[in-house]
Each structure stands twice: as structure tokens, then as C-alpha cells.
């Protein structure tokens, strides 16, 4: 093991320049614009789906799962806006619901092996989620202070 200083820690400890602060603010503006676009598109898609369900006078399990996916995307945007962090488990939950919806809607056209593959993928994502949850409890991140 060498006695060289940790480059990442050295980078965190040095003062930031005006250019770096300006660049960070520019990135945050683009992040915000992207999140607004995602939120508007999700609200539009959810509204369109609700209109379609009302127009057809039917609600299927696939429709409900799709609306749930839209709500999860909006929750992910809200969490990111509140904390500036994206919890990795949330996209995994969205993937599980999306795969379950795919399995439910396309079950008749899928072969046995395809169904097993989708079910296996759901199982692997679920195990990954459990591992991430265990890891976050067993090895939590140290609290970082913002340098704004």
C-alpha cells in the first residue's frame, strides 16, 4: 500500500474556482430542464392513458400497472428534485413492474422459455434490490456536506 494521498479526497478538499462553480450551476440547470420535460411527458402520458380508459369504459390490470409506472417515474423525479440524489432501487422497482406488466399482457404470445426468462429476470432484479438494501444498511455512506 502506498502513502500517496487519495486523489478524490484531495480534489474534494481544494477550493473550487468560479469556472467550476459556474459549470456546476449550468449542469444543474440542464438537469432541472430534463426533469421538467420528463415530468411533463409522464403527466401527459398518464393523462392520455386515463382518458383512454374513461373513453373505453374499461380498466384492465395492464392499464393499472402502466399508471403505476407513471406514478413511480413522477416519484423518482420528485425525490431527485428534493434530494439531488437518485435512489438506485427506484428504477429497479420500475423495471420489476414493467416486466410484470409485459408478462401479464403478452403471456399468450410468449413461449415457456420466454416466460421463464422474464420471471428469472424479475427474480434477479428482486435479489439485486435486496442486496442493495442490505448493503445500504450494513455499509451506509458517510454524510457529505454541500460546498454551495
Domain boundaries, the chain: 19-138
pLDDT tens for 104-140 read 888 889 999 999 999 999 999 999 999 998 988 888 8
Task: Give pLDDT, residue 145.
Answer: 47
Please report the DSSP string for 34-96 in residue order: HHHHHHHHHHHHHHHHHHHHHHHT---HHHHHHHHHHHHHHHHHHHHHHHS---THHHHHHHH
Task: Give pLDDT, residue 21.
Answer: 86
Q: Which three cell numbers stand for residue 58?
A: 374499461
Amino acid at each position: 500500500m502506498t502513502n500517496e494521498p487519495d486523489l478524490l479526497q484531495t480534489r474534494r478538499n481544494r477550493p473550487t474556482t468560479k469556472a467550476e462553480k459556474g459549470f456546476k450551476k449550468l449542469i444543474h440547470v440542464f438537469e432541472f430542464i430534463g426533469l421538467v420535460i420528463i415530468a411533463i411527458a409522464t403527466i401527459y402520458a398518464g393523462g392520455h392513458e386515463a382518458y383512454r380508459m374513461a373513453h373505453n369504459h374499461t380498466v384492465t390490470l395492464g392499464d393499472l400497472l402502466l399508471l403505476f409506472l407513471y406514478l413511480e417515474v413522477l416519484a423518482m423525479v420528485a425525490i431527485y428534485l428534493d434530494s439531488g440524489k437518485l435512489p438506485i432501487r427506484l428504477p429497479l422497482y420500475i423495471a420489476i413492474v414493467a416486466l410484470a406488466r409485459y408478462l401479464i399482457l403478452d403471456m399468450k404470445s410468449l413461449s415457456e422459455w420466454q416466460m421463464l426468462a422474464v420471471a428469472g429476470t424479475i427474480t434477479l432484479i428482486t435479489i439485486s434490490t435486496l442486496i442493495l438494501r442490505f448493503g445500504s444498511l450494513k455499509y451506509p455512506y458517510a454524510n457529505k456536506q454541500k460546498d454551495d
